[in-house]
Each structure stands twice: as structure tokens, then as C-alpha cells.
Amino acid sequence: MSKQANYIEQYMTLALQPVMRGAHERADIQRNLDHIAELARAAVWLTSIDMPVKLITIPEGALQGFTDEIFDWDHTDYVKRTAISLPGKETDFLGELAKELDTYIIAQAKVIHEEFPERFFNCAFVIDPTGEIIHKHYKMQVFAREHSTVPHDVWERWTELYGNGLDAFFPVTETPIGRIGCLICMEGSYPETARGLAMNGAEIVYRPSYPEPYVANGLWEIQNRARALDNTMFIVAPNPGAYLPMEDSPFPIDAFGGNSMIVDYQGRVISNHQAGGAASYAGGIIDIEALRQYRARSAWGNWLKDLRTEQYQCIYDKPMYEMNRCMKQPPLKHAENDEVLAKAREEMFKRDIWKKPAYMED
């Protein structure tokens, strides 16, 4: 095979920044999908003048909003009312859009998993230009108000189904535009999630969304740039432009701050749309060949080659967080979950990892 046969030409990637409405019933999702399609068509029309668009990314929440988290819904009620199937009518709609625009699409939704019929998971998925779902990633880290089940909550069954290797938690899919992996929101706050994808071969990582004030105060950008730099990979990070919590909300709330961005493999922001409050997008050129050459040739910034893994294993030799919490019960509502978090913080003090502040001392 010739060298040219493996060459991936440069292409444009889009990080869409839509306005979204909170879905209170599954039927409400279509209004968001129609808006996403309109925004995607406009963005492709404008940016394909520069380079062909081969990848479109849609932020977390853009299909369903964050209704269950804001209103502290019962987990099993959300399964019945608003969680979607993969594939399903919503992904079929996005599949038709991918075919129309001849591009890959990455999106996120809270979904039903056939092996766990009374649970929903937060899932990122990749649709190829033929309209097929070719990749799924189930979110592993959630923040204090999210009700989604994660693999650690059903560990025994999850590892029985998928094993406990990299593919079970950090799946990466080979495509003609590069190797793609996914993180979702809070996952990007943990170095380990991006490192797991990198160790499984990821070159482009989708990392959507983050709320205010953590966009305006710089956390979002710092994390995206660090994950890209640490792992010598591209990060494509779409974030919502604005949010309407109810179907009849008269005014959008800029709860996310926009700042959708694309970061290259040296941690440089190559495109970002800083303003929030309205629908827009960021567009940037991805050069997979340049990334691969840098990984192959650099003696400095391609960090993974130098990992001395044995000396890091002791960091995680003791469990930190209770596993299998959702084998017999759904994820807890906010008040009950706060008690779990309090116990987790207390364990940090007990192990002398953290030192208590003065006001907590006896």
C-alpha cells in the first residue's frame, strides 16, 4: 500500500452552539432537532467555502435539555417520558442530516440501554455519512445534580457484558477522518478519562458542554486545552448558546456562556466562538497527518511514549467511590445524593488525603 493511500486530507470541523429548549416529553425533542438541522446547514454552507466539512459536533443537552436535573425528576419516570433509543427516530433524523451534508455527526442524549431497562445512561454517539451509528460512549463521571446511571453504578453487570479493558470504558472508533473518541461534560474535568481514550488510540475527542460560571472563569478552556496537550490530540468542544428551561419560556437564559472551541494537539485554541446567548458555531481545520507526524517525530510533546506506568498504579490501588450503587435502585435524587457526597468528602479526610479546614476541626 502506498503512503498516499493512508493520507487524510485536511478538513473543517464544526462545533455547533445552538439554543436549546428543555424537553418535558419525548415529542419535545423534535423542535430542538429542527433548530440543530437549520444551524448545521447554515454553518456548512458558510464554512465549506474554506474547507470541506467532514465533522459536525452537537453539544450535550441540545436534544433534550437538562430537565431531569433542573427539576429533580424521578429517574424511572424519565426513562418512560424522555429517554431515547439508539437507534431511534431522533438518531434517524440526524442520520438523514449526515447523509444530506455528507459528514460525520457527533451528538449526545440520555438513552435507554437494553441490558438495563429501568435505567437511563448519558451517551455520546457518532453517526457516519451513510446515516449509521458507528460509535457509542457511556458517560462515566457525573456531577452532583445529574441522575444518569454510569458503568461504575452497575459494575458487575457492565464488566460481565463488556469486560474491563479499554474498549469497555474508553471506546475509540477508526474512521476515514481519524480515530474518534468521546467525553461528556464533567468527564473532561478528570485527566483520566481523556488519558484512557488516548491510550486506546484517540486522535479526535468530542467534549461537550459546560455551564456558567465555569466557562466565563476559564475552567472550560483550561480543561479542553490541557486534555489536548496532555494527550497530543484534537479536542472538539461544542457548548450551548442559550437555554429555555420550559416549552413556553419567553426569554432564553445564557446558562452556558457559549465559547464552543476546537483545540489542536499542542493545546492551542484554533477556533472559538466566545459569545453566548444566540445560536452560532465554531469552525476549525483538522490536520490528522500533522498530528501523526508530530507523534512519530517529536522527542518532547508526545507525552504518552514516556509513561512509566508501574509507578502510577499505586495512586489508584484503593477504591474511592462505592460501586454497584444502581444495581438494585435507580440513581438518587438530589437530597439523598448530597448525603453520599458528604460521605465521600469525609473519606478524603479520614484517609488524610485532604486536611480539614479550621472551622471543621473539633
Average the pLDDT over 91-98 and give the result.
Answer: 98
Q: For 209-242, how does the pLDDT look when each residue is reduced to its tens digit (9 = 90+)?
A: 999 999 999 999 999 999 999 999 999 999 999 9
Where in the chain do CATH 3.60.110.10 domains reside? 10-306
Residue with cell 477522518: 177
pLDDT, tens digit, 9 for 90 and up, residues 121-148: 999 999 999 999 999 999 999 988 999 9
pLDDT for the residue 160? 98
- Which of 126, 140, 220 minimizes the C-alpha distance to 180? 126
> What pLDDT band is residue 2 in, cutting at 50, 70 and 90?
low
**Residue that the C-alpha cell 454517539 belongs to:** 125
**Given this model, what pLDDT does residue 276 score?**
77
Would you tell me how many other CB atoms lie within 10 Å of the CB of residue 327? 15
SS3 186: helix
Say what the pLDDT of residue 208 is. 98
pLDDT, residue 3, reads 60
Per-residue pLDDT at 1 exceeds 80:
no
pLDDT in tens, 331-350: 989 999 999 899 999 999 99
Q: Measure the N-to-C terminal CA separation of the chain; round to a whole number of Å.
A: 71
Q: Which residues does 188 contact at the CB level (< 8 Å), separation at least 6?
A: 194, 207, 210, 223, 224, 227, 237
**For residue range 5-59, what is the model confidence (pLDDT) as tens digits?**
689 999 999 999 999 999 999 999 999 999 999 999 999 999 999 999 999 999 9
Q: What is the pLDDT of residues 296-313, one digit of tens each?
A: 999 999 999 999 999 999
272: β partners: 261
| Exposure b/e, 214-249, CB count within 10 A at least 16 = b | bbeeeebbebbbbbbbbbbbbbbbbbbbbbbbeeee
User: How far apart are the C-alpha atoms of 5 and 245, rounded to whole Å?
Assistant: 49
> 350 and 320 in contact (C-beta within 8 Å)?
no
SS3 state at 235: strand
Residue type at position 56: I
Residue range 77-106: average pLDDT?
A: 97
Q: Is the pTM of this model over 0.95?
A: yes
The mean pLDDT value of the chain amounts to 95
Rounded (5°) CA angle 5-9-13: 140
| Helix, strand, coil in percent for the chain, rounding step 5 | 35, 20, 40
β-strand partners of 11 = 286
| Distance separating alpha carbons of residues 25 and 339, to the nearest angstrom | 30
Residue 296 CA, chain-centre distance (Å), reads 28
Q: What is the pLDDT of residue 111?
A: 98
Grid coordinates 483550561 are at which residue? 222
Contact indicator for 288, 47 with CB cutoff of 8 Å: no
Per DSSP, the residues of 27-65 read: GGHHHHHHHHHHHHHHHHHHHTTTS-EEEEE--TTTTTT
Average pLDDT value for residue range 251-272: 96
Q: Which long-range contacts (CB under 8 A, 24 or more apart) does 223-228 make?
A: 223/188, 223/189, 224/188, 224/261, 224/263, 224/269, 225/263, 225/267, 225/268, 225/269, 226/191, 226/267, 227/183, 227/188, 227/191, 227/194, 228/263, 228/264, 228/265, 228/266, 228/267
Q: Look up the CATH superfamily of 10-306.
A: Carbon-nitrogen hydrolase (3.60.110.10)
Q: Which of 245, 233, 247, 238 lies closest to 220, judged by CA?
A: 238
- What pLDDT is recorded for position 184? 98
Distance between CA atoms of 325 and 122, rounded to whole angstroms? 16
